[in-house]
Structure 1
Amino acid sequence: MDHGIVWTKGAVGSPAAGPEDVLRLVRGAVRGEPGGRVETLVAECRMCGAGEDEFEVAKGECFCVGCCIPLGVTDGDVCRSSRRWRLEPSEVPLPPASPGPGFEPADLPRCPAGHDVFQVGVALSFTAEGEVRGISVGLRCPVDGAVCLYIDDARVVSYAA
């Protein structure tokens, strides 16, 4: 099964509705477990210091438009209180992670209108013991409001760094 990004048609509500739209999308995608909890957030770059909230997306990762530092979706940096991790697909395959340097055009998602910079919503599901169990990532085009689910409840597998 190939990974396919399915976008909403145009704006959800209105283009000015804001990144809350993508939070609703990822909140619905994460499957919490008994005794656990789900946390959602709109991603902002911690390195830029200016609250940069727009990202280019490639190879399963989100890169800040301001400083090009990855958000840490694929390795666990997105959740500072967690151990390092790698992702395994749940019911839906992960986005492609092409080998080699540089970005391949097929690795770069675009909204239906052709835009390639996004606001990112992240949902993390935690076990009853407080360990991250799964992650969903949604993308929202800040220009036209279109949203899609980029990573659908991927399993998080901890590893020692």
Structure 2
Amino acid sequence: MLVHTGDQVGEGVSAELAAFLRGTVDGRPVKIAPSVCRGCGGRVFFVLVNESGAERECGGCGSRAFIADSEEYWNEESWEDDEPGAAGCPCGGEEFESAVAFSLADDGSVRWVTLGLRCTKDGFCGVYADWKIDYGPTDHLLTMV
């Protein structure tokens, strides 16, 4: 795995998913954070995705949360050509470990959000959504995983 000196990997992100995410982003430093349910502490999710965002549902308690700034774009108006769909693994699995790689600019602000999912059935890792952040400040995004 290519590691940048500014990389940070949050506790609880599997080595496989962290390595996969690191390999998919540009050469900028990243902060990789795990998705953890605020309701029950669960780490397995069903995920809805489109090109501009994602929403996860805890496999344990069913509580839902948006990834990063997805909620701002999660409406029928913005879905015109990009309606969300359930994330699925090639093996047929629909439950995932979820983590987000935040690509950081030189000043530490978030420039890209990349959602990686690791299937709990077979371990397959994939990027299921990624989008550019072109505003600031962005610190609040780092806790919305």
Query: In which range does the TM-score fall when normalised by the shorter chain?
Result: 0.5 to 0.7
Give 1:43 shift.
1.5
**Match of 1:57, as an amino acid?**
V
Q: Which of 137, 140, 156 is the matching residue for 2:115?
A: 137
* 8 Å contact from structure 1 (residues 59, 97) kept in 2: no
* Superposed counterparts of 1:67-106, under 5 Å: 67-73=62-68, 75=69, 97-98=82-83
Give 1:124 shift.
0.6
Specify the SS of the correspondent of 1:113: coil
The percentage of aligned residue pairs carrying the same residue is 25
TM-score (norm 1): 0.59
Higher relative strand content = 2
Q: Which residue of 1 aligns with 2:44?
A: 54
* 8 Å contact from structure 2 (residues 49, 87) kept in 1: no
Measure, in 2, the Cα distance between the counterparts of 1:159 and 1:68.
29
CA offsets, 1:5-47, max 9 Å, x none? xxxxxxxxxxxxx8321111111111144xxx311122212x2
Between the two proteins, the alignment pairs up a number of residues equal to 113
Measure, in 1, the Cα distance between the counterparts of 2:110 and 2:116.
18
* 8 Å contact from structure 1 (residues 55, 62) kept in 2: no
1:28 matched to 2:23 = yes
TM-score (norm 2): 0.64
Give 1:71 shift.
3.6
**Match of 2:57, as an amino acid?**
C
Give 1:159 shift.
6.9
Residues 68 and 125 (structure 1), Cα distance of their counterparts in 2 relative to 1, 3 Å cut = same
* 8 Å contact from structure 1 (residues 52, 64) kept in 2: no
Over the residues paired in the alignment, what is the CA RMSD in angstroms? Answer: 2.7
Q: Which residue of 2 aligns with 1:155?
A: 132
Q: Which residue of 1 aligns with 2:56?
A: 63
- After TM superposition, the runs of 4+ consecutive aligned structure 1 residues lying more than 4 A away are none
Q: Gaps spanning 5+ residues in structure 1: where? A: 1-17, 78-84, 87-95
Measure, in 2, the Cα distance between the counterparts of 1:44 and 1:140.
14
Q: Gaps spanning 5+ residues in structure 2: where? A: 1-12, 74-80, 138-145
> Which structure is higher in RCO with an 8 Å CA cutoff and minimum separation 6?
1
Specify the SS of the correspondent of 1:26: helix
